[in-house]
Amino acid sequence: METYIILTLFVVLILIVFSAFFSGSETALTAASRPRLTHLEAGGNKKATIVLQLLNLRERLIGSILLGNNLVNIFASSLATSLLISWTGDAGVVYATIIMTTVILIFAEVLPKTYALRHPTRSALRVAPILKFIVIILSPIVIGIEAIVGLALRVFGADKQAIARLVSPQEEIVSAIKLHAQEGGIVKDESDMLRGVFDLSERWVTDSMIHRKNMVMIDGNQNNQKIIEQVLNSQFTRIPIWFQEKENIIGVLHAKDLLREIANNTDNINDIDLKKIMLKPWFVPESTNLLEQMTAFRDKHQHFALVVDEYGVLMGLITLEDIIEEIVGPITDEYDIAKKGIRRSQDGSFLVDGAVSIRDLNRDLGWNLPHNEAVTIAGLVVHESRSIPEVGQIFNFFETRFEILKRNRNQITLLKVFPHEKNLNKTIHN
């Protein structure tokens, strides 16, 4: 009798160990870092290869773990119940339920799962070889279960592929970046740059271009002396040249090419034929996204393009630097005039120039104002209010208050923005 009791207790103990193994394995493989595992696989780690193989068979893996875990838990509970009934009679069922629930919960669920969460990759590498063997053994049964589950899903109208398409790989990466930034795993500047890279494909050249009203252009009808003076007084190295009307851009003058010609014609600069040294203008449609344009800049070895609408009307210009700034933030050199356009007031509000982009505001202050329908903060107010606001008007959009302080004709030039409390907290922490 004693031998039977000892043997039963030993078997129950072994089964609980197996239950802990299955529970910990499930958590470890779910929480393990796939990029880290890929890196280890590239370094020749065979266990990492096994883990990635198992993760690629996610349904088969989960099915095997759940099947194995339920089998050992039920078997262990049955043995414990049988043993306690032989000791205490019918009350053994109650005792067995209480004892096994407590033991399984603490030692076979919470403890292994907690350890696996704290050391996911390490745990996944340790259990991978054993788990691979178990998956192979239980595959015939799991395949049958998968067939039944698939049939049930079709009956209820669930499409696994549609569910998988709900979140794209890009969205997953962006969400991971946001999560790591919130948890302190990535500093804010790095987070902004990483997210900026993924945003390029969703933003158009019109979002980052210099509007035509702010473009520096030179009248090609002037004599060389005046043109040279305007080029030298400009902070730009590439300047569009127009003829007869501003829409008629005949070329782009590079300051370096101009200086080279001046050096070769020191006697009379009016003898310089500017049309010969001007670069051919490159026009791109407004429907081009920033990723496409950056790739085009790289392929054509150019840094400057003019943006036109579908009718060929000049909209503005886009440079490689403008696109890079979408990733790294504003870039200024010794010739740039830095215009932040964001000033904090004593009451906690912010004085914001109307031309400040929503992305720059979100980037600098850690806010989350939408930038899909408008580029600038003034454009956002106009879009949401569906009007040209008057000075003194106050609007509440996206849990944020906007007060119009200055307006030049129909253009909002200065606003006072009162951030929502959650945005204010973000600003303080930033």
CA-to-CA distance for 351 and 428, rounded, in angstroms?
16
Instruction: Judge whether 41 lies within some domain.
Output: yes
Whether 30 and 52 share a structural domain: yes
Taking only the tens of pLDDT, the chain with its 430 residues reads: 678 888 888 999 999 999 999 999 999 988 888 888 888 888 889 999 999 999 888 888 888 999 999 999 999 999 989 888 888 888 888 888 899 999 999 999 999 999 999 999 999 999 999 999 999 999 899 888 888 887 887 787 655 555 454 455 666 666 666 666 665 656 666 777 777 787 888 888 988 888 888 889 999 888 888 888 898 888 888 999 998 888 889 999 998 888 888 888 767 777 788 888 899 999 999 999 999 999 999 999 898 999 999 888 899 999 998 888 888 876 665 444 444 688 888 888 889 988 888 877 887 777 888 877 788 888 899 989 888 889 999 999 888 899 999 998 888 889 999 886 555 444 444 4
Q: Which distant-in-sequence residues (6+ apart) come within 8 Å of 399 by Cβ?
A: 420, 422, 423
Instruction: Judge whether 335 lies within some domain.
Output: no
What CATH number is associated with residue 372?
3.30.465.10
Whether 234 and 364 share a structural domain: no
Residue 307, pLDDT score = 93
Q: At 355, phi and psi to the nearest 5?
A: -80, -5
Structural domain including 397 reads 342-429
Residue 430, pLDDT score = 47
Is residue 362 within 8 Å of 368, Cβ to Cβ? yes
Long-range Cβ contacts of 365-373 (<8 Å, 24+ apart): 365/419, 365/423, 365/426, 365/427, 365/430, 366/188, 366/423, 366/426, 366/427, 366/429, 366/430, 367/400, 367/419, 367/423, 367/426, 367/427, 368/423, 369/398, 369/400, 370/398, 371/207
Instruction: Judge whether 337 lies within some domain.
Output: no
Q: Which distant-in-sequence residues (6+ apart) come within 8 Å of 274 by Cβ?
A: 220, 224, 227, 241, 253, 258
Whether 240 and 273 share a structural domain: yes
CA-to-CA distance for 206 and 10, rounded, in angstroms?
72
CA-to-CA distance for 28 and 116, rounded, in angstroms?
5
Residue 166, pLDDT score = 47
Residue 69, pLDDT score = 93
CA-to-CA distance for 212 and 41, rounded, in angstroms?
52
Question: If you search the block for the tokens 């945005």, which residue do you land on?
Answer: 423
Whether 46 and 88 share a structural domain: yes
Whether 287 and 183 share a structural domain: no
Total count of domains within the chain: 4
